[in-house]
């Protein structure tokens, strides 16, 4: 592929060294800091187990009765879901009704997305191959940012009472909505084998808030070739010192699996509508889509003031 006009975050994330990857995130960090100075102590301390545990002690206890009805997910007991989250870091078994996931998928096809987090790369998912030629780069993701709010079905999921109920039981009474985003992960003909192996095996933990929970929903069928999500069970509550005293959140699979055990990594595949919720302080990753695209929705809860920009997954990039 010819030289790229300017690099985007996905390219840097795949091919850059540690320092370059961190440097690319500096504009986002500075924006977070200006928007909310309380972000800094979180960013420094929430990666350590003592810092995190101290914050968990402040969680407001929730005692209300389990949700009985009114959710599109049926009769899932939020307290039991929260208990399972505490044990494993992930709870599977959420399913979107067909009319909901079909409508969100339709939105995903009909609404232009932004390639590799960059608003300059706007295209329709069906035009992915053309877009790679037009923008002269491989494009592995396409986000809708705030456009997701134009999709009634996506907003209905965001507002379903089960989600905050689980979040409150797990995170405490302070739990609030902090993200809603939809994005495509595309297989790309131009990724090299090195790209594929690098992107596929980058376990990371999220550091956007002291205590977080993310609900993920697959909106098309996701098998092993469509970039399934991987989560390391138990990694939300135990962390080797090396992975606490580090500036970077991504670590090699060998290091992560050697500590937690290979059998603790679960790969979530499933038909359109499959949903799960996880504590994203646990190690997780989205693998690169090999043959099929994946269309995914995330609804996140945290305990701090949400960042308006990150609400839809948008980083700050240099022009
Ligand atoms: O694409 C995925 O499956 C994972 C997304 C992710 O890593 C995140 O939201 O932190």
Q: Whose CA is nearest to atom 3 of ligand 1?
A: 286
Distance 291 CA to ligand 1 centre (A): 18
Q: List pLDDT tens digits, range 123-157.
A: 999 999 999 999 998 899 999 999 999 999 999 99
Using 50, 70 and 90 to split pLDDT, how confident is the model at 36?
A: confident
Q: Does residue 194 have a pLDDT over 70? A: no
Q: List pLDDT tens digits, range 3-13.
A: 344 555 555 55
Using 50, 70 and 90 to split pLDDT, how confident is the model at 2?
A: very low
CA nearest neighbour of 202 among 14, 34, 58, 37: 14
CA nearest neighbour of 294 among 168, 200, 208, 182: 182
- Locate the ligand 1 atom nearest the alpha carbon of residue 216 and give its number: 3
Tell me if 233 CB under 6 Å of ligand 1.
no
Q: Which of 19-33, 190-204, 235-249 is predicted least confidently? A: 190-204
Distance 286 CA to ligand 1 centre (A): 5
pLDDT at residue 203, rounded to an integer: 93
CA nearest neighbour of 182 among 312, 12, 279: 312
Domain extents in the chain? 9-312
Starting at the edge strand that comes first in sequence, how are the strands of the sheet with 213-218 ordered? Answer: 90-95, 274-278, 213-218, 294-302, 176-185, 141-143, 113-115, 122-123
Using 50, 70 and 90 to split pLDDT, how confident is the model at 206?
A: very high
User: Which of 216, 278, 279, 294 for mutating ligand 1's site (highest number of atoms within 8 Å of CB)?
Assistant: 216
Q: List pLDDT tens digits, range 228-240.
A: 999 999 999 999 9
User: Could you tell me the pTM of the whole model?
Assistant: 0.91
pLDDT at residue 32, rounded to an integer: 82
- Locate the ligand 1 atom nearest the alpha carbon of residue 228 and give its number: 3
**What number is the average pLDDT over the span 174-188?**
96
CA nearest neighbour of 227 among 167, 280, 182, 293: 293
User: Which of 229, 251, 281, 312 for mutating ligand 1's site (highest number of atoms within 8 Å of CB)?
Assistant: 229
User: What's the token pair of residue 114?
Assistant: 């932004």
pLDDT at residue 313, rounded to an integer: 86
**What number is the average pLDDT over the span 289-299?**
96
Q: Does residue 14 have a pLDDT over 90? A: no
- Taking all residues of the chain, what is their mean pLDDT, rounded to a whole number? 89
User: Which of 285, 300, 301, 315 for mutating ligand 1's site (highest number of atoms within 8 Å of CB)?
Assistant: 285
**What number is the average pLDDT over the span 25-36?**
82
Q: List pLDDT tens digits, range 253-292.
A: 999 999 999 999 999 999 999 999 999 999 999 998 999 9
Tell me if 206 CB under 6 Å of ligand 1.
yes
- Locate the ligand 1 atom nearest the alpha carbon of residue 229 and give its number: 3
Using 50, 70 and 90 to split pLDDT, how confident is the model at 23?
A: confident
Q: Which of 47-56, 65-74, 110-119, 217-226 is predicted least confidently? A: 65-74
- Locate the ligand 1 atom nearest the alpha carbon of residue 214 and give its number: 9
Q: State the fold for domain 9-312.
A: Jelly Rolls (2.60.120)
Distance 65 CA to ligand 1 centre (A): 31
């Amino acid at each position: 592929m010819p030289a790229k006009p300017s690099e985007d975050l996905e390219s840097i994330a795949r091919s850059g060294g540690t320092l370059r990857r961190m440097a690319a995130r500096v504009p986002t960090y500075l924006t977070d800091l200006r928007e909310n100075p309380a972000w800094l102590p979180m960013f420094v301390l929430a990666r350590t187990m003592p810092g995190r545990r101290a914050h968990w002690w402040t969680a407001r206890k929730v005692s209300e009765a389990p949700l009985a009805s009114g959710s599109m997910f049926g009769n899932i007991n939020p307290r039991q879901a929260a208990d399972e989250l505490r044990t494993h870091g992930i709870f599977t078994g959420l399913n979107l009704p067909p009319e909901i996931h079909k409508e969100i998928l339709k939105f995903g096809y009909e609404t232009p997305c932004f390639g590799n987090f960059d608003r300059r790369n706007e295209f329709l998912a069906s035009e992915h191959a053309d877009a790679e030629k037009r923008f002269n780069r491989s494009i592995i993701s396409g986000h809708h940012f705030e456009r997701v709010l134009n999709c009634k079905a996506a907003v209905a999921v965001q507002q379903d009472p089960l989600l905050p109920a689980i979040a409150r039981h797990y995170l405490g009474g302070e739990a609030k909505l902090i993200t809603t985003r939809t994005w495509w992960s595309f297989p790309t003909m131009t990724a090299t084998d090195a790209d594929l192996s690098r992107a596929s095996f980058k376990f990371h933990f999220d550091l956007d808030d002291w205590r977080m929970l993310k609900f993920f929903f697959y909106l098309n069928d996701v098998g092993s070739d469509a970039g399934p999500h991987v989560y390391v069970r138990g990694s939300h509550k135990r962390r080797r010192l090396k992975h606490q005293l580090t500036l970077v959140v991504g670590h090699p699979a060998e290091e992560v699996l050697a500590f937690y055990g290979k059998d603790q990594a679960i790969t979530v595949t499933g038909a359109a509508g499959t949903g799960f919720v996880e504590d994203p302080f646990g190690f997780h990753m989205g693998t690169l889509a090999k043959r099929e695209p994946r269309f995914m929705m995330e609804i996140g809860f945290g305990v701090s003031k949400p960042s308006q920009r990150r609400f839809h997954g948008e980083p700050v990039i240099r022009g």
